[in-house]
């Protein structure tokens, strides 16, 4: 099978389950942002130590593929057929919340803002967090105009928090100090 189809050369693309929309459609933008987020998490996974939160991050990547499919399939019947299983639900949101609670319990309380960075893996996780926030804004904009499962919005919202906490935890686990933002006083 060839990777190119030539069907999008006119500026439109096919949705999962059928139908075509312009490539600038909000739905395409939403699942494109989720795809970029998934790639950013892949970059974080590729950083050393590769075993750090690997299972959790790989599960998140799979969840993001499900969200992408949901965003690319506005028809619920076609979505069920395309997924071959249930859509993302409350259980996945609860799993993210449990991960946040677990890692946050081992972190000192924040008294000031931290700067993204510290160690390469944490920096990659912070970058993924910002991509996640952008994806969330696009999904919320889409949800204001079309039907989007509320669990998708909740999941992406929790995911940015999870990436933040995991990034912080990675710095601590590596024995480093989180870089803090100190406002300049003159």
**pLDDT tops 80 at residue 128:** yes
11/168: higher pLDDT:
168
pLDDT at residue 10, as a whole number: 77
Q: Where are the domains of the chain?
A: 20-173
pLDDT at residue 186, as a whole number: 63
**Among positive and negative, which fits the CA dihedral 63, 144, 138, 159?**
negative
Instruction: Write the pLDDT tens digit of every residue in 4-31.
Output: 777 677 787 777 777 877 677 899 899 9
- Tell which CATH classification among 1.20.1260.10, 1.20.1200.10, 1.10.10.10, 1.10.260.40 matches the domain 20-173: 1.20.1200.10
Instruction: Write the pLDDT tens digit of every residue in 57-66.
Output: 999 999 999 9
Q: 4: number of CA atoms within 13 Å, CB side?
A: 2
């Amino acid at each position: 099978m060839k990777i190119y189809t030539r069907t999008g050369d006119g500026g439109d693309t096919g949705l999962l389950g059928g139908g075509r929309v312009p490539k600038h459609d909000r739905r395409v933008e939403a699942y494109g942002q989720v795809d970029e987020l998934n790639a950013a998490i892949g970059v974080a996974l590729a950083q050393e130590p590769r075993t750090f939160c690997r299972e959790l991050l790989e599960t998140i990547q799979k969840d993001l593929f499900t969200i992408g499919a949901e965003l690319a399939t506005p028809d619920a019947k076609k979505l069920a057929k395309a997924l071959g299983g249930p859509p993302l639900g409350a259980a996945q949101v609860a799993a993210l919340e449990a991960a946040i609670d677990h890692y946050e319990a081992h972190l000192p309380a924040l008294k000031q803002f931290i700067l993204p960075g510290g160690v390469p893996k944490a920096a990659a996780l912070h970058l993924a967090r910002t991509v996640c926030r952008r994806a969330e804004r696009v999904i919320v904009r889409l949800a204001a105009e079309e039907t989007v499962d509320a669990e998708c919005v909740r999941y992406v919202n929790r995911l940015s928090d999870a990436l933040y906490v995991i990034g912080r935890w990675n710095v601590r686990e590596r024995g480093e100090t989180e870089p803090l933002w100190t406002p300049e006083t003159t």
